[in-house]
């Protein structure tokens, strides 16, 4: 029985469903007409009456054009069913019940229904916040000179522009294909709604008919679901938006928030995506092609099917001709013009640095602000320097096959400001495997490149560059282990000064010094100088002076910057400016400056690291640690088993830090890889680029420094005033000719 009745019931309910669509459409149209009458009534009864008669005639014409299809129900012979006869008892409705029933109906119609309608109305999005709803914008990250590094967006790439910056051909082509009556209607076109309703009845689905105002509301305030309720919301909001905003403002918001395909939302993003140019540079041919995309971006995309895209472009051009926006000749020229499209690969420049910056932005403002807030971020990076350093790292690593070196990283800091000028986290970000891995922020053992912190502590505690220490066998025993340090060359060098010990990177003197002063004191000083991952309360042994405790190479570069600044610590800086989408400055540069090492101690370290003659025994002549014509302080470092190799150095203006090795920690060639053959060639080339055509900047000696000569008065040594002067030195101030001689040696 149920089977037999199911089909007839469907045929009976189908017209009811369609009648519901008709009623909703007619109600929407009636609302529009009443809304229009309200505005005309303000001018007088005659305009309102004239409009009403005109609309009645228009509706008659529309309904006369296409009649609703006749529905012919199939004849179905139902079986005879004999139902048992029974009689329902007569029920007498009491007067009290009738009163209750009428009261319930009255309450439903005049109390509950209005409350429900009011509640529904209040649940609508606030049209006052339309610009906020439409404010999901792309964050732009640029270098210090405004060159684009990357654009950050959630899933839609926005790039808003003012209406006055959008060319007329873009505006007219959009109006022609989307809503040619935009400047004359009040947000909704009743006849379009009726036509859409008729199409819905025939095709059994809701269709278009939306104005530009309605499309804007759908894109930024509502969902894209095809339901009657959403359509009614769209109509009501369209009236409210038209009341609140000017036509130009609505059009501007629309052009900045419609989809053009993929992640491109808004005409500026579309212009960049398809043609690689700003919207104000578009011509008629390009504008007409873009105007045809929003209704079905994936269908009309020139990247999907250029023939379909051209057909759609022709439709747009024909509409423009029909509306008198352009001539037929203009349309033909535009249609026949060859279009040049750009590659669809999203580009990123200085990718490791961009990732660092994005992480910092998210920590400051949150992920949502970064991805949808439309920030304009001007970073400290100099893209010209960045690209040169990137190429140098890539080329030098490629040359080092015999050294078993597969990767390299480099960073360039501005000494005075702490700004990051170049940041190369690996030789090639896009290389499969470890390419995206950022060595500069990874914790790795620093080797001997950490020793300047040990010697800075020694000088703070009263030792001097002339202090003598015995480089001889040394065994340190405790309850857990016996530690016997050895020098890099496997030799002992007898009694040496601290200058000689640091310049030649002897291990045994460094361990003896730290054993006397205490590892915790070195850790405390290193923490103050910027080694962010060092914890003062941790337990360390004397091997920390040889690189036994891991550091981030970026932090270690900042330690050298602290020496270059005369002992003043500053945070590394990635930003020059961060502005919100209205142009307000959000960023305040960190003001933290702390004198963590005395100027005199910082100068002693610098003077030793820049001493070419002091390091000759270990490094020899004609190596990569000197830059012709420039005074440069430099220190190398190599870890146990040669897993990591570093070179850090600085002038008065720049700090350059370089690492080479293998991401998987496999050793470099134990016979060929060294402090001079690994990172130093990259360091030398980078500094040569930075200092090209620039005058030498000698390190400035602070007032706290004085000089004395050795017993033969042939070579001077620097001291902090008030230090204990060794008796073997010549206690006279250095002479003018000695000063000239030393300057000649340094050159």
When pLDDT is averaged across residues 564-569 and rounded to a whole number, the result is: 97
- Structural domains in the chain, CATH included, are 14-67+102-123+155-347 (1.10.3810.10), 447-626 (3.40.710.10), 705-746 (no CATH)
- Give the pLDDT of residue 526: 96
DSSP 585: B
- Give the pLDDT of residue 54: 72
Helix or strand run (H / E) with residue 705: strand 705-710
When pLDDT is averaged across residues 401-424 and rounded to a whole number, the result is: 94
Extract the tokens encoding 508: 């045994």
When pLDDT is averaged across residues 210-218 and rounded to a whole number, the result is: 85
When pLDDT is averaged across residues 734-741 and rounded to a whole number, the result is: 47
- Give the pLDDT of residue 683: 97
When pLDDT is averaged across residues 689-701 and rounded to a whole number, the result is: 94
Distance CA 350, CA 384 (A): 11
Angle, in degrees to the nearest 10, between helices 284-291 and 267-275: 120
- Give the pLDDT of residue 400: 84
- Give the pLDDT of residue 297: 84
- Give the pLDDT of residue 129: 65
pLDDT cut 70: percent of the chain above it: 74
487/62: higher pLDDT: 487
- Give the pLDDT of residue 458: 97
pLDDT by residue (tens digit) across 144-153? 999 999 888 7
- pLDDT band of residue 4 (cuts 50, 70, 90) is very low
pLDDT by residue (tens digit) across 642-671? 899 999 999 999 999 999 999 888 988 887
Distance CA 524, CA 653 (A): 27
pTM score: 0.69
354 near 149, Cβ under 8 Å?
Answer: yes
511 near 474, Cβ under 8 Å?
Answer: yes
When pLDDT is averaged across residues 688-700 and rounded to a whole number, the result is: 94
The answer to whether residue 680 scores a pLDDT higher than 80 is: yes
Distance CA 613, CA 500 (A): 10
- Give the pLDDT of residue 469: 95
pLDDT by residue (tens digit) across 448-498? 999 999 999 999 999 999 999 999 998 987 666 678 999 988 899 999 999
Q: Rg of the chain over CA atoms, in angstroms?
A: 40
> 635: closest CA among 720, 710, 549, 560?
560
When pLDDT is averaged across residues 614-620 and rounded to a whole number, the result is: 91
> Which of 83-97, 233-247, 510-524, 582-596 tops mean pLDDT?
510-524
- Measured CA distances, 24 to 11, 168, 190, 200, 226 (Å): 21, 38, 12, 12, 14
348 near 422, Cβ under 8 Å?
Answer: no
DSSP 494: E
**What does the angle CA 556 – CA 587 – CA 365 come to, to the nearest 5 degrees?**
85
Helix or strand run (H / E) with residue 421: strand 420-424
pLDDT by residue (tens digit) across 536-566? 766 778 999 999 999 999 999 999 999 999 9
Distance CA 293, CA 301 (A): 7
The answer to whether residue 366 scores a pLDDT higher than 50 is: yes
- pLDDT band of residue 134 (cuts 50, 70, 90) is low
- Give the pLDDT of residue 736: 45
396/213: higher pLDDT: 396
Q: Quick check: helix, strand or coil at residue 477?
A: strand
The answer to whether residue 368 scores a pLDDT higher than 50 is: yes
The answer to whether residue 41 scores a pLDDT higher than 80 is: no
pLDDT by residue (tens digit) across 188-207? 877 766 665 555 555 444 44
- Give the pLDDT of residue 663: 86
Give the contacts of 705 (CB within 8 A, at least 6 positions apart). 600, 603, 604, 718, 719, 720, 721
pLDDT by residue (tens digit) across 493-527? 999 999 999 999 999 999 999 999 999 999 999 99
Q: Give the bridge partners for 140, in sequence order.
A: 151, 376
360/709: higher pLDDT: 360
- Give the pLDDT of residue 2: 39
Q: Which residues of 606-627 are buried (b: 16+ CB within 10 A; e: fewer)?
A: bbbbbbbebbeebbeeebbbbb
Tell me what the pLDDT averaged over the chain comes to.
82
- pLDDT band of residue 428 (cuts 50, 70, 90) is very high
User: How many Cβ atoms from other residues are within 10 Å of residue 46's Cβ?
Assistant: 9
- Measured CA distances, 214 to 81, 254, 258, 568 (Å): 54, 10, 12, 60
> 539: closest CA among 480, 494, 464?
480
Distance CA 217, CA 333 (A): 35
- pLDDT band of residue 50 (cuts 50, 70, 90) is confident
Helix or strand run (H / E) with residue 177: helix 168-178
**What does the angle CA 156 – CA 162 – CA 167 come to, to the nearest 5 degrees?**
100
Across 21-25, 286-290, 722-726, 733-737, least confident range: 733-737
């Amino acid at each position: 029985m149920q089977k037999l009745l199911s089909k007839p019931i469907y045929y009976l309910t189908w017209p009811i469903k369609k009648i519901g669509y008709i009623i909703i459409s007619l109600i929407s149209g009636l609302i529009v007409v009443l809304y229009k009458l309200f505005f005309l009534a303000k001018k007088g009864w005659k305009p309102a009456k004239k409009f009403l008669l005109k609309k009645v005639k228009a509706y008659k014409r529309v309904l006369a054009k296409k009649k609703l299809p006749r529905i012919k129900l199939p004849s179905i012979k139902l079986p005879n069913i004999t139902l048992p006869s029974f009689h329902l008892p007569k029920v007498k409705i009491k007067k009290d019940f009738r009163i209750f029933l009428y009261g319930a109906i009255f309450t439903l119609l005049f109390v509950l229904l209005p409350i429900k309608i009011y509640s529904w109305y209040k649940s609508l999005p606030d049209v006052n916040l339309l610009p906020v709803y439409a404010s999901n914008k792309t964050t732009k990250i640029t270098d210090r000179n405004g060159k684009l590094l990357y654009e950050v967006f959630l899933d839609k790439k926005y790039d808003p522009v003012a209406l006055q910056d959008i060319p007329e051909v873009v505006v007219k082509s959009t109006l022609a294909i989307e809503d040619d009556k935009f400047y004359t209607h009040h947000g909704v076109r009743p006849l379009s709604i009726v036509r859409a309703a008729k199409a819905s009845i025939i095709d059994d689905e809701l269709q278009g008919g939306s104005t530009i105002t309605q499309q804007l509301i759908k894109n930024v305030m509502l969902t894209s679901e095809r339901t009657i309720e959403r359509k009614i919301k769209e109509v009501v909001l369209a009236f409210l938006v038209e009341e609140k905003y000017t036509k130009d403002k609505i059009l501007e918001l629309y052009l900045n928030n419609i989809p053009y395909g993929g992640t491109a939302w808004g005409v500026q993003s579309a212009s960049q995506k398809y043609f690689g140019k700003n919207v104000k540079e578009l011509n008629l041919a390009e504008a007409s092609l873009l105007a045809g995309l929003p209704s079905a971006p994936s269908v009309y995309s020139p990247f999907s099917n250029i023939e379909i895209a051209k057909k759609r472009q022709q439709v747009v051009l024909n509409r423009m001709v029909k509306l008198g926006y352009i001539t037929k000749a203009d349309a033909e020229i535009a249609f026949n013009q060859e279009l040049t499209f750009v590659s669809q690969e999203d580009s990123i420049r200085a990718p490791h640095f961009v990732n660092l910056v994005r992480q910092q932005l998210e920590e400051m403002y949150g992920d949502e602000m970064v991805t949808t807030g439309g920030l304009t971020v001007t970073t400290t990076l100099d893209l010209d320097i960045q690209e040169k350093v990137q190429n140098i790292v890539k080329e030098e690593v490629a040359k080092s096959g015999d050294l078993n070196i597969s990767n390299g990283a480099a960073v360039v800091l501005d000494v005075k400001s702490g700004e990051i000028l170049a940041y190369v986290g690996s030789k090639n970000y896009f290389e499969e495997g470890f390419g995206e891995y950022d060595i500069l922020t990874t914790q790795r053992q620093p080797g001997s490149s950490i020793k300047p912190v040990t010697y800075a502590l020694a000088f703070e505690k009263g030792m001097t560059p002339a202090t003598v220490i015995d480089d001889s066998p040394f065994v340190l025993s405790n309850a857990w282990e016996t530690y016997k340090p050895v020098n890099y060359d496997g030799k002992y060098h007898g009694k040496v000064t601290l200058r000689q010990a640091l310049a030649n990177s002897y291990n045994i003197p460094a361990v003896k010094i730290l054993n006397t002063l205490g590892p915790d004191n070195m850790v405390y000083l290193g923490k103050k100088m910027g080694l962010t991952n060092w914890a003062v309360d941790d337990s360390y042994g004397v091997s920390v002076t040889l690189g036994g405790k891991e550091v981030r190479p970026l932090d270690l570069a900042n330690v050298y910057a602290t020496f270059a600044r005369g002992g003043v610590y500053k945070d590394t800086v990635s930003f020059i400016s961060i502005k919100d989408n209205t142009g307000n400055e959000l960023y305040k540069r960190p003001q933290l400056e702390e004198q963590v090492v005395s100027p005199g101690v910082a100068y002693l370290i610098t003077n030793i690291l820049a001493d070419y003659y002091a390091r000759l025994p270990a490094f020899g002549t004609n190596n990569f640690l000197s830059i012709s014509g420039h005074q440069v302080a430099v220190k190398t470092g190599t870890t146990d088993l040669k897993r990591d190799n570093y070179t850090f150095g600085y002038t008065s203006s720049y700090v350059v830090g370089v690492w080479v090795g293998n991401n998987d920690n496999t050793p470099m060639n134990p016979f060929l890889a060294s402090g001079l053959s690994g990172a130093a060639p990259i360091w030398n080339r980078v500094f040569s680029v930075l200092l090209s055509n620039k005058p030498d900047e000698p390190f400035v000696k602070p007032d706290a420094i004085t000089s004395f000569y050795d017993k033969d008065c042939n070579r001077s040594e620097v001291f902090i005033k008030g230090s204990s002067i060794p008796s073997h030195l010549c206690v006279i101030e250095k002479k003018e000719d000695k000063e000239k001689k030393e300057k000649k040696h340094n050159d």
